[in-house]
A = this chain, B = another copy of it.
Amino acid sequence: MKPLEVIHSSLEKRILVELRGGREYRGILEGYDHPHLNLILRNAEEIIEGEKKRELEKVIVRGDNIVYILPP
Contact = CB atoms under 8 A, between A and B. Distances in A.
Contact of A59 (B1, B4, B32, B69): B69
A31 B56 contact: no
B25 A60 contact: no
Interface residues of A, number: 38
Q: Which of A3, A38, A61 has the most CB of B within 10 A?
A: A3
Contacts of A21: 20
23 contacts: A1-B30, A1-B40, A2-B32, A2-B33, A3-B33, A3-B38, A3-B40, A4-B33, A5-B31, A6-B31, A6-B40, A19-B67, A35-B36, A37-B62, A56-B70, A57-B70, A58-B71, A59-B68, A59-B71, A60-B70, A61-B68, A62-B66, A62-B67
